[in-house]
Structure 1
Amino acid sequence: MSITFKSQATGDLFMVQAHAESLLKLLGKAPAAQGIIETKDMPAALQILRALGDEVAEDEASRDIERDEDPDERDAGDQRGADFQGERVSLRLRAWPLIQMLEKAHAADKPIVWGV
């Protein structure tokens, strides 16, 4: 299942339900079938999601140091590009489209809704 975030300021944003619900919980929103992020709440939402990115980046960097692993080597992965098993997309990366949507919607003074 997926959740579709909509705003008059942007195109629709489709997100896997589990990932969308994780982000909504971070924003203090109950993962309900319908909801809204009003423009007055967007600066706080942006701050939360951006802080998530900082925390995750710091955590990933510390794990690289702990494992004595070169981050460039890890990111290069399989040079043939054929084997992506085991690759994980962080919540920080999954939040990026929502951050962009929040920025545009806030600038245009338009809410973001889902389930409508």
Structure 2
Amino acid sequence: MLYKFQSRAASDLLMLEPQGRRILEIIGKYGEDRRGILQTADMGGAIAALEAAIAQEEREAAEVAAQAQADNARGGENEEAVSLRQRATPFIDMLRRSQAAGKDVVWGV
């Protein structure tokens, strides 16, 4: 299943359901209904929430990396993952463009 985010100020953005759900949970817009709208007045708060979540994830990743480095010294494995920053950057860009143009962002599955 895919989430399709649309705005008249930016290109459409597609996300797989788990990543789209995580983004919507962070901005407080995930619920029973699989469709929604983010109005321009709410975009600043959504961007701030995403940036705070990214910063938190990066702090946690730094701690995990330090532990992994210690484990690697003992012969453990280091696993790479796609970060929230990589997943959320296109969405944040869409929000900034939409906010500047005064256009809402809508989504559906």
Give 1:43 shift: 0.3
- Determine the C-alpha separation between the residues in 1 that align with 2:69 and 2:12: 41
Q: Secondary structure at the match of 2:15?
A: strand
User: How many Å separate the matches in 2 of 1:56 and 1:87?
Assistant: 14
Name the structure 1 match of 2:40.
39
Any runs of at least 4 consecutive aligned residues in structure 1 with deviations exceeding 6 A, and if so which? none
Aligned to 1:111: 104
Q: Which residue of 1 aligns with 2:58?
A: 57
Amino acid aligned to 1:111: D
How do 1:2-41 residues align onto structure 2 when only pairs under 5 Å count?
A: 2-31=2-31, 32-41=33-42
Instruction: Give 1 or 2: higher strand fraction.
Output: 2
The percentage of aligned residue pairs carrying the same residue is 37
Equivalence for 1:88: 81
Q: How many residues align?
A: 101
Equivalent position SS for 2:37 = strand
1:58-89 Cα offsets, whole Å, 9 max, x none, are 111111222336xxxxxxx9xxxxxxxx5421
TM-score by length of 1: 0.78
TM-score with structure 2 setting the length: 0.83
Q: Bigger CA drift: 88-97 or 19-28? A: 88-97
Structure 2 gaps of 5+ residues are 71-77
1:30 Cα offset (Å) = 2.5
The Cα shift of 1:23 comes to 1.1
Q: Deviations over 1:10-52 (max 9, x none)?
A: 0100000111011101111134221000000000000000111
Q: Structure 1: 5+ residue runs without aligned partners?
A: 70-76, 78-85
